[in-house]
Amino acid sequence: MTIETLAARPLGSDPCADDWVTVCALGDLPRERGAAALVDGRQVAIFRLLDDELAAICQRDPYSGAYVLSRGIVGSAKGLPTVASPMYKHVFDLRTGQCLETHGADVRSVRVYPVRVVGGAVQIARATTP
């Protein structure tokens, strides 16, 4: 399986199946890179940071409308993990989704998804609102 676009896998007997979707194994995600996953019909960008912390945000860049954030450059700003959109280079905080560098545009944010690792499997929380 490639990590470019990961389709959610069924959870089987997991008691949290209603709340979480398994998308890949932790080992499928390279450090300091992003991958895209489809979770309940929504594109989510997942990032594995250098220290193995995970972050998941909406894949859609709110400035360009393109679904490209998993292809952005992972970095940090003032100690915060970030991703810079490959479109117009807006920088988003991976923990809050807020745009930290707007290049003079209005401040926009992306949705942040809870993400966890259970038994080596990366799981993303299902969205409860659109």
> What CATH number did the domain enclosing 99 receive?
2.102.10.10
Give per-residue pLDDT as tens, 105-114.
999 999 999 9
DSSP strand pairing (115-118 vs 73-77): unpaired
Domain limits for position 21: 5-125
Q: How far apart are CA 109 and CA 74, in angstroms?
A: 17
Number of domain units in the chain = 1
Residue 17 pLDDT grade (very low, low, confident, very high; cuts 50, 70, 90):
low
Give the list of residues 6+ apart from residue 61 with CB closer than 8 angstroms, or none.
67, 68, 69, 85, 87, 88, 90, 110
| pTM attached to this predicted model | 0.85
